[in-house]
């Protein structure tokens, strides 16, 4: 675990400010007040500004074969996206059939983002071959040097226009609330995160105006006003000790406080966490819940009278369709329909067979990032009852020995 000291020193390329397309957008707004516009109607307005509107099919047909894998899926949940073509023009790709006035703020957001890319390509020597990053690989996409600058501008624009940031001193708190930043930081390493913070800081400076001396003083004030580290956190950082190897006893108040402090510092971009440490702060460790009328800490092992030595529930015997079976003992099902199955009792006390897990998919609970993504997607903080597949999918790591998994880490 390491503390990030100063994110203003990580890059040396000045941020490219987006071009002003307000005149074009005002014309589109006037034209689509009463009716949505087709790509042809939009291009009558946008082409003089070097902006082209295309349908998804036109976009796909125009991509070279070796770049077709970079195309966002048609059913990816976004109505519009953009890119810079080989002639360095901004292309707005419409998955929706027509553009209405409600989509204009999103169009503006995309055009500003792509105009940063346009400025980047204008800086490039002519011999550099045009290409496109692959947005389907989120880690590589958000770590791409061009995308770091462009997404930093997008975040800054959201902070200014949607979150109404009016002073640089508001930046640390407002950044925690920004949905785009919260998504990006889950995919990038801490050095890349620092590059983002530097660009966001520079874009905010440019949007708010003022002298460099003033903003440098404010930035120093922000850095100096960061929360003082606890004695325990200071010791772990100075000695580069991970949370998993903490000097505190697991489950103790000091250990819980250390995790909560690390979680807050990581969310504000002040510490670098990797591997198991990153996994721990993504869980509910440290939060409390009621179990059999008593308060317990979530996701910390505790002694259970109904548990065996492997940490699994006691395996009761029961009868299912005339056969004796073990309850709550998951097993592999090579013949399908799912990867695993388990016998358990439903809310009526009847024995049921629950199947779970995609047959062709690996259980990647050993990977902290994939584990965190799965838990978030499946909402594993509320796994539901044992007679539902979700419960067993979220708790599959508890049965690693039974299922032959490489890791007992929970999803």
For residue 303, the model assigns a pLDDT of 36
Cα–Cα distance measured from residue 46 to residue 104, given in angstroms and rounded to the nearest whole number: 13
Instruction: Say yes or no: 55 and 125 in one domain.
Output: yes
pLDDT exceeds 70 at position 202: yes
Average pLDDT of 113-120?
Answer: 93
Q: Quick one: average pLDDT of 93-119?
A: 94
Maximum mean pLDDT: which of 48-62, 206-220, 281-295: 48-62
What's residue 408's pLDDT?
A: 56
Angle between helices 190-208 and 212-224 (to 10 degrees): 140
Return the pLDDT at 35. 93
- Are 222 and 405 contacting, i.e. CB atoms less than 8 angstroms apart? no
Residue 74: what pLDDT? 86
Most confident of 28-32, 338-342, 405-409: 28-32
Question: How is residue 410 written in tokens?
Answer: 């929970």
* Residues 116 and 255 occupy one common structural domain: no
Number of domains in the chain: 3
- Over 50: is that where the pLDDT of 310 sits? no
Phi, psi dihedrals of residue 52, rounded to the nearest 5°: -120, 130
d(CA 390, CA 397): 13
Statement to judge: residues 169 and 43 lie in one domain: yes
Residues 164 and 278 both lie in one domain: no
Question: Which residues, including other chains, have CB under 8 Å from residue 280's CB and lie 6 or more apart?
Answer: 243, 244, 259
**Structure confidence by residue, pLDDT tens digits, 285-306:** 666 555 455 555 555 544 333 3
Mean pLDDT computed over every residue of the chain: 79
DSSP code per residue over 188-219: S-HHHHHHHHHHHHHHHHHHH---HHHHHHHH
Q: Is the pTM of this model over 0.75?
A: no
Pair (194, 247) in one structural domain: no
Q: Flag whether 125 is in a domain.
A: yes
pLDDT tens across 241-280, in order? 877 777 887 678 888 888 888 887 876 667 777 666 776 7
Residues 279 and 355 in one domain: no
The answer to the question of residue 22 being in a domain is yes
Residue 179 falls inside a structural domain? yes
SS3 357: coil
Task: Show the domain range for 196.
Answer: 9-207
In this structure, the answer to whether residues 236 and 113 fall within a common structural domain is: no
pLDDT over 50 at 55, yes or no: yes
Residues 163 and 239 in one domain: no
Spacing of C-alpha 217 from chain mean position: 32
Residue 309 domain-assigned (yes or no)? no
Pairing of strands 80-84, 90-94: antiparallel
Strand 340-345 to 351-356 pairing = antiparallel
| 267 shares a domain with 151 | no
If one compares 283 and 181, the residue with the highest pLDDT of the two is: 181
Does residue 172 belong to any structural domain of this protein? Answer: yes
Is 376 within the bounds of a domain? yes
DSSP at 318: E
SS3 291: strand
Would you state the pLDDT for residue 80? 93
What is the structure's pLDDT at 260? 85
Question: Do 292 and 361 belong to one domain?
Answer: no
Least confident of 51-60, 186-195, 284-293: 284-293
Structure confidence at residue 276 (pLDDT):
65
Task: For the chain, give the percent of residues with pLDDT over 90.
Answer: 26
pLDDT band for 6, please (50, 70, 90 cuts).
Answer: very low
Which of 207, 235, 265 delimits the end of a domain? 207
Residue 93 lies in a domain: yes
Residue with more model confidence, 28 or 187: 28
* 100 in any annotated domain: yes
Q: What is the mean predicted confidence (pLDDT) over 337-357? A: 84
Report the pLDDT averaged over residues 307-336.
62
219-230 pLDDT tens trace: 666 656 556 788
Identify whether residues 40 and 90 lie together within a single domain.
yes
Rg (CA), the chain: 26
C-alpha triplet 142, 379, 308: angle, nearest 5°: 120
Residues 395 and 282 in one domain: no
């Amino acid at each position: 675990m390491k503390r990030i000291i100063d994110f203003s020193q990580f890059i040396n390329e000045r941020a490219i400010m987006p071009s002003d397309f307000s005149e074009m957008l005002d014309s589109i707004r006037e034209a689509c007040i009463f009716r949505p516009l087709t790509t042809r109607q939009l291009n009558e307005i946008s082409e003089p500004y070097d902006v082209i509107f295309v349908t998804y099919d036109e976009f796909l047909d125009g991509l070279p074969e070796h770049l077709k894998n970079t195309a966002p899926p048609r059913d990816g949940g976004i109505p519009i996206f953009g890119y810079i073509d080989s002639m360095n023009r901004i292309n707005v790709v419409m998955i929706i059939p027509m553009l209405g006035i409600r989509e204009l703020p999103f169009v503006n957001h995309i055009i500003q983002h792509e105009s940063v890319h346009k400025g980047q390509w204008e800086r490039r020597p002519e011999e550099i071959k045009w290409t496109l990053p692959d947005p389907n690989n989120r880690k590589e996409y958000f770590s791409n040097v061009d995308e770091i600058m462009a997404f930093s501008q997008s975040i800054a624009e959201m902070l200014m226009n949607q979150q109404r940031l009016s002073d640089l001193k508001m930046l640390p708190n407002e950044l925690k609330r920004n949905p785009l930043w919260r998504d990006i930081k889950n995919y990038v390493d801490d050095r890349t995160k620092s590059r983002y913070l530097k660009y966001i800081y520079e874009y905010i400076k440019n949007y708010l105006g003022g002298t460099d001396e003033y903003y440098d003083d404010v930035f120093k004030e922000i850095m100096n006003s960061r929360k003082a580290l606890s004695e325990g956190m200071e010791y772990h950082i100075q000695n580069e000790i991970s949370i998993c190897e903490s000097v505190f006893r697991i489950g103790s108040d000091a250990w819980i406080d250390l995790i909560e402090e690390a979680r807050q510092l990581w969310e504000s971009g002040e510490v670098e966490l990797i591997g198991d440490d990153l996994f721990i702060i993504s869980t509910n460790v440290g939060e409390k819940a009621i179990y059999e009328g008593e308060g317990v800490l979530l996701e910390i092992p505790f002694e259970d009278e109904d548990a065996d030595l492997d940490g699994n529930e006691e395996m009761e015997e029961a009868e299912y369709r005339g056969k004796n079976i073990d309850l709550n003992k998951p097993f592999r099902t090579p013949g399908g329909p799912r990867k695993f199955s388990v016998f358990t009792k439903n809310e009526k006390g009847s024995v049921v067979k629950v199947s779970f897990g995609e047959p062709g998919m690996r259980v990647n609970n050993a990977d902290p990032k994939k584990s965190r993504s799965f838990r978030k997607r499946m909402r594993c903080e509320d796994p539901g009852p044992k007679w539902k597949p979700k419960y067993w999918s979220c708790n599959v790591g508890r049965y690693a020995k039974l299922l032959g998994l490489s890791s007992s880490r929970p999803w």
